[in-house]
Amino acid sequence: MRIILIGMKACGKTTVGKFLSQKLGVSFVELDNEIEKKHLNDKNEKLSFREIFKKYGKKYFRDLETNTLSEISKILAGKDFVFACGGGTPLKNKNRKILKNLGKNIFLDVNREVLLERILKDGLPSFFPYPDDPEKSLDELLSKRLPVYQELAEFTLTIDKETPEEIVNKFLENIY
């Protein structure tokens, strides 16, 4: 089974993905980690994906993301896996095509208040358009991203405050 987890930052793609891959006995791949590896290989500079975005800007990051996704999709062809992409990955049409061909896209749809709380726990993200108004920033991002996630997803898992294990069980009961 090839499963791609999509959704906003802090929706649980990585945590749920790791649990799910263990439960299914398949590999877990996280796009953000692969972006960091590719950047290190290309520029001989070890940075986190957040640092790459901050230092080189959105265009560089999104291009690197697409190139990395394209390479990873070839490596993963024919294999079973759980894949967590970045929150903004599906926004690019080319990425959506790759993700659709790669496997089943599952949208982790987290309650807005829970999502805001999780996002702000790590400090205000650099991609928030209104640094002085995190709620307005989140609402604007949700208005742009939710329709994209919903269109791409074959299944949506609605999440409130469940634990990662409860989310995985919900997935296995309803989708697998």
Strands of 81-84's sheet, edge to edge? Answer: 27-30, 81-84, 2-6, 104-110, 155-159
Structure tokens at 127: 């991609």
Read off the CATH number of the domain in which 11 is found. Answer: 3.40.50.300
Three-state secondary structure call for residue 149: helix
Within-domain flag for 175: no
Within-domain flag for 157: yes
Within-domain flag for 156: yes
Three-state secondary structure call for residue 144: helix
- Domain with 140 in it: 2-170
Amino acid (one-letter) located at 136: K
- What does pTM read for this prediction? 0.94
Beta bridge partners of 7: none
Within-domain flag for 82: yes
b/e burial code for range 10-35 (CB count within 10 A of at least 16 → b):
bbbbbbbbbbbbeebebebbbbbebb
Within-domain flag for 93: yes
What are the mean pLDDT values of the chain's consecutive 10-residue runs (176 residues total)? 96 96 97 97 95 93 98 95 97 98 97 94 85 94 97 94 90 82
Number of structural domains the chain divides into: 1
Please give the pLDDT value at position 176: 65
